[in-house]
Structure 1
């Protein structure tokens, strides 16, 4: 999908400079011998607190693999991945599960809402499972930020696709995670709904101090971010601050032309 054009002037907050997540020489290899595929090739990158970062690259470049490894959803072959001061490979499965639950939020292309629960129940479900009560003031602020105040009693089948994804965004924000990862979070949405969700993600960074890392193939979606990291063949090949849809598209075209001539 292609979202509508990003608003022309957006004042991004200065990030704290502290890494919410980082990778050092992160390598992910699938298979052996003739079937060996290097999905990530010694990637080192930081995602700073209070910043919205987009990860882009051609199909098979390793962008989703990078996100999944850094979010603790997939193992890696060598190197290290950190959430705050915690190195993921040092954790046993139980502690890794707890870290994902307490410090990481996820937004995926499929909304992953339970159809029998209301919007509010879907938002608070991870905390309910963990036996934690949501902070009411924070929850109210999140609901207001994503524009769901009048929809909390509705079930998913009573909501549009954009509203369902807003519920998924609110669910990721509600537990106040240290970082939110999104894997093509607007991929199933039309242009208008996609632009709304991207605006909510941007506002969560600007107004709530959240840290967001999003994988996307869409230059317009990437233009909502403060920064774009470009991957190709499992390596970081560029890093752009204050992107526009046009500058991202030009960079992607340059990578395509380089690939054809190499």
Structure 2
């Protein structure tokens, strides 16, 4: 059995590295009998603190399922999932909801902003709901990092797509979560706006010490990460450090014939 000490001290690349999230022998299956589909097949993975990880793979490879299980948004069929030293598997719904609210940030393809609130109100909304006051200095640093200081009192309809996603990024960062999960966070943006958001995510790792795990099909987006994990048929089949868009694209070509990467 994996202990809390193992989880908090041992990284996936050997040595002692703080681990933000970990999966051990995780299986996620849907259905039963002849209709049973295995989305994750005995996956072992560590997400190191202060690192930016991109998850890639063909459609149906299990990449979004893996992220959802690590984030506590989905349950596993068997195996263990940890957030730092806390095991998520087996937590009651109330405890899991509280953990996601207090310790995890989320950025999705759809910005999920409330149209009646301005940018700063959208950024602080999760903390307002939780009855917590934001750290004023941290919030100012986040706003400066994502370049929204002059847009804080604009509503979503008054912001571009890229600016709206920057609000969503700031909202995810504002509560100082231990880890942020992004599911195709630039999927609805043009290339320029997407590059802005990816740059802000990169800066949040480098300057703010954030940990980010992002599912993407885009080699350019993956190139912003420290590490790229490749999934196929529910298994991690490869890993790349210091990726470039060209290297990622070349690696993805190996999946031709096994499904597209959308």
TM-score by length of 1: 0.92
Q: Which residue of 2 aligns with 1:125?
A: 125
Q: Which residue of 2 aligns with 1:34?
A: 34
Q: Which residue of 1 aligns with 2:173?
A: 173
Asked if 1 retains the 8 angstrom alpha-carbon contact of 2:222 and 2:245, the reply is yes
> 3-state SS of the aligned residue for 2:89?
helix
Asked if 1 retains the 8 angstrom alpha-carbon contact of 2:104 and 2:177, the reply is yes
Cα distance in structure 1, aligned partners of 2:87 and 2:28: 16
Q: Which residue of 1 aligns with 2:241?
A: 241
Deviation at 1:106, TM superposition (A): 0.1
Q: Which residue of 2 aligns with 1:164?
A: 164
Cα distance in structure 2, aligned partners of 1:120 and 1:258: 44
> 3-state SS of the aligned residue for 2:74?
coil
Deviation at 1:27, TM superposition (A): 0.5
Q: Which residue of 1 aligns with 2:200?
A: 200
Deviation at 1:32, TM superposition (A): 0.8
> 3-state SS of the aligned residue for 2:152?
coil
Q: Which residue of 2 aligns with 1:212?
A: 212
Query: Which runs of structure 1 show a deviation greater than 6 angstroms over 4 or more consecutive aligned residues?
Result: none
String of CA shifts for 1:61-90, please: whole Å, max 9, x gaps: 000000001101011100011101001013
> 3-state SS of the aligned residue for 1:150?
helix
Asked if 1 retains the 8 angstrom alpha-carbon contact of 2:69 and 2:75, the reply is yes
Say yes or no: does 1:189 pair with 2:192.
no
> 3-state SS of the aligned residue for 1:89?
coil
Q: How does 1:141-156 map to 2 (within 5 A)?
A: 141-156=141-156
Q: Which residue of 2 aligns with 1:8?
A: none
> 3-state SS of the aligned residue for 1:231?
strand
Asked if 1 retains the 8 angstrom alpha-carbon contact of 2:106 and 2:172, the reply is yes
Cα distance in structure 2, aligned partners of 1:72 and 1:239: 23
Say yes or no: does 1:229 pair with 2:229.
yes
Cα distance in structure 1, aligned partners of 2:167 and 2:257: 39
Cα distance in structure 1, aligned partners of 2:188 and 2:142: 22
> 3-state SS of the aligned residue for 2:127?
helix
Asked if 1 retains the 8 angstrom alpha-carbon contact of 2:58 and 2:258, the reply is no
Deviation at 1:35, TM superposition (A): 1.0
Q: Which has the higher contact order (CA 8 A, sep 6+)?
A: 1
> 3-state SS of the aligned residue for 1:24?
strand
> 3-state SS of the aligned residue for 1:90?
coil
Cα distance in structure 1, aligned partners of 2:185 and 2:126: 19
String of CA shifts for 1:89-129, please: whole Å, max 9, x gaps: 13111110110001000000000000000000000000000
> 3-state SS of the aligned residue for 1:46?
strand
Structure 1: any 5+ residue segments left out of the alignment? 1-15
Which range moves more in the overlay, 250-259 or 168-177?
250-259
Structure 2: any 5+ residue segments left out of the alignment? 1-15
